[in-house]
Amino acid sequence: MNVSHIWGSMKDFSENHKYRQKHPSLGWGDHEGGFFYIPDKKLRIIASKGAGWDHVSVSLETRCPTWDEMELVKRLFFNENEAVFQIHPPVKDYINRMPYCLHLWRPQREAIPLPPTWMIG
């Protein structure tokens, strides 16, 4: 079984400073999180680090983000040697606070097990 890069954290948010904006309720955020907007793609992004997890939520106003849009956000907020994942939780744990929103997650202190590379492509 392949295992993703372990330890470390997502990229420094200062690398995406040109996209940082003040969120109406969250404010500017800090080194642990913030709101970002990519105008040419109309992507709204909330990034956070905490409780042992790196997390990025990505949304659009009228549709869910595409694979290519999620991959762009992954490259902007995570290092290229890091695996991240989307979670489909059990129905009993499902929460939908915002339509058209997808999430990327990465545990900070353990590896994400990955299937063999021949199964991924």
Q: Which pLDDT does position 8 carry in this prediction?
A: 56
Q: What share of the chain is helix, strand, coil (3-state, %, to 5)?
A: 20, 30, 50
pLDDT in tens, 65-112: 999 999 999 999 999 888 999 998 899 998 888 889 999 999 999 989
Q: Give all domains of the chain, ordered by start, each with its CATH number.
A: 2-120 (3.40.1720)
Is residue 99 helix, strand or coil?
A: coil
- β-bridge mates for residue 118, sequence order: none
Instruction: Give the global pTM.
Output: 0.84
Find where tokens 């744990």 sit: 93
Give the tokens for residue 15.
Answer: 């690398």
Q: Which pLDDT does position 97 carry in this prediction?
A: 85
pLDDT in tens, 3-61: 444 445 678 777 777 888 887 777 777 767 889 999 999 999 999 988 999 999 999 99
